[in-house]
Amino acid sequence: MKKCALWMVVLAFLCGSATMIYAAEEATLPSEVPVKGMVTMLDLGATKCIPCKMMAPIIEELKEEYKGKAAILFIDVWEHRDEAPKYSIRAIPTQIFYAKNGEEAYRHEGFMDKASIVAELAKLEWSER
């Protein structure tokens, strides 16, 4: 039990430090959701929720990997409370994937690992060709 508690503290610390960087970069709202003419993944969460903190480094990696190919966006719905109703979310984190034409293609609630996000983005990229 003590080992489990120790690991939870270590994980919270590591995720927390990554999230602080993520939060600083994401304090403003995206100007356009979905991004016109581009596959878009919108992550709706909060910088202080545990599963959202776990996703923060994944989102940052994907932003770099998909730069110019897909838009990877984040909105902190605790900081911007008026945004949650716009997307009809019931839980955080929620990921919404949009096709290039702006239509919602897929929605997921809860933590989503990198491989699953990449798979959804690939489906949208291939369906657009």
| 52 counts as catalytic | yes
In the numeric block, the tokens 């900081």 are attached to: 79
Q: CB–CB of 43/95 below 8 Å? A: yes
52, 62, 71, 89: the catalytic one is: 52
Whether residue 93 is preceded by a cis peptide bond, meaning omega within 30 degrees of 0, is: yes
Question: Could you tell me which of 59, 61, 90 has the C-alpha nearest to residue 75?
Answer: 59
| 4 counts as catalytic | no
The CA distance from 30 to 73, in Å, is 7
- Cβ neighbors of 20 (< 8 A, separation 6 or more) are 47
Count of other CB atoms within 10 angstroms of residue 109: 14
46, 49, 54, 73: the catalytic one is: 49
* Residues catalogued as catalytic: 49, 52
